[in-house]
Structure 1
Amino acid sequence: MNTKNYSRTISVNTTPDKAYQALTADIEHWWTKPDTPLTSVGDLAKFTFSPGKTFWIFEATQLQPGKRVEMQCVKALHLHDAMPKVIEQEWLGTKVIWEIIRNSSHTDIRIEHIGLVPSLHCYEICEAGWDMFFVDSLKLYLNTGVGKPHQKPNH
């Protein structure tokens, strides 16, 4: 059984401080809009996805400006029609860690989602989601100022 956590690294043309800002207060510009931003350790933020039922609540567990952001999933409700009910809680207790590393000409950002492993029912869906939002949208946001965050449909 493969127990390797989801992880990726992107290189962006920005400063570590701007990368940190994007991972905290500006997360809505590339992922989805939380009900409140994660700006202090202990903050809770609810990230909801359309049609407004799937959500994850994360607690900020470590915030080091320009260096590191950690958040732990403290409540989960992942609804997906084509998947078994067990996926609803698969993120509960998992931890997302972003590390920011300044290099001479760019900044690297590494994500590791501890607990998001291939044995989970949601792994392929969640891997594709993180790839879309982290690898594509965050990189685009930091390089151009415009990301591709989740958009709630207009009704």
Structure 2
Amino acid sequence: MSESYTTSFSVHQNPEDVFHAINDVRGWWDGEIEGTADSLGAEFTYRHGALHYSKQKVTEFVPGKKVVWLVTEADITFVTDRTEWKDTRVVFDIAEKDGKTEVTFTHEGLVPQFECYDGCSDAWGYYVKDSLPKFIAKSRSEVGS
């Protein structure tokens, strides 16, 4: 889905550290989280006040390489179709590139035709381009100390 929201970033940490950080959702997401994302088949819910609720199931879990979450439930209250996210996939592809680890994030199914596309892609931009890289760097420095 070429129109789906996608972005990428690179960090100095190794792919295994990056993989571990991605799966520690509480470390880089705001809001209320219940459940876990740290194994194949794991499920977690995310709630951000009254604006957003979603439930994700881990459908791919390849250490150091890839994580995929299927959105099984969604209630986004600021759009007409509150279930826009349902059955979309959140994909993290992890690869070594030029001595760094590159993460390519794609929310498959989050497309410009969605009413929430602008607001949701802005939120993903914050989480994936700011919060997650900072958490990866912090997590690694804590492990190394």
Please report the TM-score for the alignment, with normalisation by the length of structure 1.
0.82
Q: Secondary structure at the match of 1:14?
A: coil
AA at the equivalent of 1:5: S
2:2 & 2:8 partners in 1: Cα distance? 19
Instruction: Please tell me whether residue 118 in structure 1 is matched to residue 117 in structure 2.
Output: no
1:145 & 1:4 partners in 2: Cα distance? 32
Match in the other structure for 2:17:
18
Mapping 1:31-110, distance limit 5 Å: 31-32=29-30, 33-51=32-50, 54-80=52-78, 84-86=79-81, 88-110=82-104
Which structure 2 residue ranges, 5 or more long, are not aligned?
A: 141-145
Aligned pairs, number:
139
2:22 & 2:46 partners in 1: Cα distance? 13
Q: Deviation of residue 79 (structure 1)? A: 1.6
Cα distance per residue 1:22-51 (max 9 Å; x no partner): 111x21111245211112222111011124
1:36 & 1:143 partners in 2: Cα distance? 24
Over the residues paired in the alignment, what is the CA RMSD in angstroms? 1.9
Which structure 1 residue ranges, 5 or more long, are not aligned?
A: 147-155
Q: Secondary structure at the match of 2:60?
A: strand
After TM superposition, what 4+ stretches of structure 1 lie above 3 angstroms from structure 2? none
2:2 & 2:98 partners in 1: Cα distance? 34
Q: More deviation in 101-110 or 112-121?
A: 101-110
Higher strand share: 2
Q: Secondary structure at the match of 2:133?
A: helix
Cα distance per residue 1:95-121 (max 9 Å; x no partner): 011000013421100111110000100
